[in-house]
Chains A and B, each alone.
Chain A
């Protein structure tokens, strides 16, 4: 090899020369036999290897493979795939163990700061476990102010007949004789579960739709909140009727799920959220209930309601600890 520019032939073929270098090399190659031979040799090498045959397949075989692929994908969506690869299963267990050790060693989610105001003979007690703070409200009326939660922190109010989970909010709860009478949200979003209602309440909303305003009373502060708390970034939602989800006209789960998917696919996420909520409520044992629960969270996220999405995602993770949508749910939950 005697041409000092021969090395540029590869760079030219690879597209690594800038425009001026490329033009310069091409002018040079026009008069250089050695570089022309090198370019031809590089092209011939690719052509020879590219000509190697690929295993043959008929159109019928291709269609069968397509059908089989879709069947396997559908199966994976509705069931958990059993671990058939022992090596992968072992590696997964190892990764989980290491992750648990790492999480505990390096990072503990901070316990949320919150304030409880006793408005009328509130009977409540505090139970904190690491980053999950639980307040049991047995009776009376109490106002809650919860600082915006970080990482894996959670705040739950246990009611005699249900529960409330929040992401950073202000709300008032009234419990009488073991029954939750009202929940009023003034800031943020809560996920409320009581008999007859399972859904999100945004700032400005209340459950049930009409309720007497709570009386005022003394204040009890727990785990003193910082001087400045982040204000709720969630705009008040239009007052709706949270306790009333449109009665389904189709009783069977298949058409109900299909309707919800249609709403989701067409971008009507508010309706999709309602329909998925109804599906989960009416068909909790259906194989698609897991998807429906996750898609509720995704619908809220696409509506811009990140706090609501996080709450619903957290519920999905609790309900399906090994669920297929776990990675996506963790992302929505902010973990």
Chain B
């Protein structure tokens, strides 16, 4: 009795080609492969927890819509990251988000009370790191997250953000400087 050959997983370029042809199952396969990365990136870019999954959906829907523009590189991760950054940027500028931020600002509880439970020191340290990251401008934060945390190259990030590579390094340098200064102040 012969056993069926194992089905080879399609590479990213093949999945994108199939998505371009309207194959929704290929979109599902791409989601399985990169959903975690995209989700983590969007959260690190400062999107509120309640909005992260929505933006992940929008990122992959946009990937489906613009699949023909994928340049056929071996990994779609960088391309998806670029789309995610664009989605986060649009999200920040939406009118609805402005209202939600205003509402959240008006009712935001004190963090100390929230972290006053067990493991207070770790929670406070995490809160300080979060505040330091939140205080970065969007441009510096994008570069820091994409290069330092997500591991993309300077050239990849320059292409994603449509800026010169030298600007990537400059923003990264200032992002690190600010983060260190903010964390030093808080501690």
Interface residues of A (CB under 8 A from B): 10, 14-16, 41-42, 45-46, 48-55, 57, 62, 65-66, 68-70, 72-74, 76-77, 85, 87, 261, 264-265, 291, 295, 298, 328
Contacts of B25 in A (CB 8 A): 70
Q: Can you list the 4 inter-chain pairs with the closest CB atoms, starting with the nearest?
A: A55-B49, A54-B43, A70-B24, A73-B64
Which residue of chain A lies nearest to B125 when distances are taken between CB atoms in the complex? A48
> What residues of chain B lie closer than 8 Å to A62, measured between beta carbons?
35
Q: Which residue of A lies closest to B168 (CB)?
A: A14
The answer to whether A16 and B40 have CB atoms under 8 Å apart is no
Enumerate B70-106 residues with CB–CB distance to A below 8 Å. 94-95
Q: Check if B21 sits within 8 Å of A264, measured CB to CB.
A: yes
Q: Please, how many angstroms separate the alpha-carbon atoms of A49 and B180 in the complex?
A: 11
Instruction: Please tell me which one of the listed residues B18, B22, B57, B94 contacts residue A65 in the complex, with CB atoms under 8 A apart.
Output: B57
A14→B147 contact, CB < 8 A? yes
Q: Does B15 contact A (CB under 8 A)?
A: no
**B176-A16 in contact (CB<8A):** no
| Known contacts A10-B176, A55-B49; A70/B28 CB under 8 A | yes
CB distance from B148 to the nearest CB of A (A): 5
Q: A73-B24, A87-B95 are in contact. Are A46 and B149 (CB under 8 A)?
A: yes
Looking at B94, B126, B148, the one whose CB has the most chain A CB atoms below 10 A away is B148
Pick the contact of B52: A55, A261, A298 (CB < 8 A).
Answer: A55
Q: Beyond A49-B132, A51-B126, A69-B31, list 17 extra A-B contacts (CB 8 Å).
A: A10-B172, A10-B173, A46-B148, A48-B129, A52-B44, A52-B126, A65-B35, A69-B57, A70-B24, A70-B28, A72-B61, A73-B27, A73-B61, A76-B61, A265-B21, A298-B21, A328-B68
A selection of 11 A-B contacts at a CB cut-off of 8 Å is A41-B180, A49-B144, A50-B149, A51-B129, A53-B126, A54-B44, A65-B56, A69-B61, A87-B95, A261-B21, A291-B22
Residues from 136 to 187 in B contacting A, C-beta threshold 8 Å: 144, 147-149, 153-154, 169, 172-173, 176, 179-180, 183
> Is A74 a contact of B24 with CB atoms below 8 Å?
yes
Q: Contact check, B95 vs A52: say whether CB atoms are below 8 A apart.
A: no
Q: Are A66 and B28 in contact (CB under 8 A)?
A: yes
A49 touches B21 (CB 8 A): no
Interface centre among B49, B64, B95 (most CB of A within 10 A): B64
Interface residue tally for chain B (C-beta within 8 Å): 46
Q: Is the CB of B126 within 8 A of A69?
A: no
**Nearest residue, chain B, Cβ from A50:** B149
Decide if the interface of chain B is mainly helix, strand, loop or mixed: helix
> In the bound complex, what is the Cα–Cα distance between A55 and B169 (angstroms)?
29
Contact B39 A54 (CB under 8 A): yes
* Residue pair A69, B28 in contact (C-beta under 8 Å): yes
Contact of A49 with B32 in the complex, beta carbons under 8 Å = no
- CB contacts under 8 Å to A, within B13-69, are 18, 21-25, 27-28, 31-32, 35, 39-40, 43-44, 49, 52-53, 56-57, 60-61, 64-65, 68
Closest chain A CB from B23 CB (angstroms): 7
Give min CB distance, B84 to chain A, whole Å.
Answer: 13
A327 to chain B, nearest CB (A): 8
Residues of A close to B56: CB separation below 8 A: 65
A52 with B130: CB separation less than 8 A: yes
Q: CA of A291 to CA of B49 in the docked complex: distance in angstroms?
A: 37
**A65 and B183 alpha carbons, distance in the complex (Å):** 36
Q: How far is the CA of A232 from the CA of B164 in the complex (A)?
A: 44
Complex-state Cα separation, A10 to B126, whole angstroms: 24
Which interface residue of B24, B52, B129 has the most chain A CB atoms within 10 A? B24
Contact B32 A66 (CB under 8 A): yes
Q: Kindly provide the distance from the CB of B141 to the nearest chain A CB, expressed in whole angstroms.
A: 10
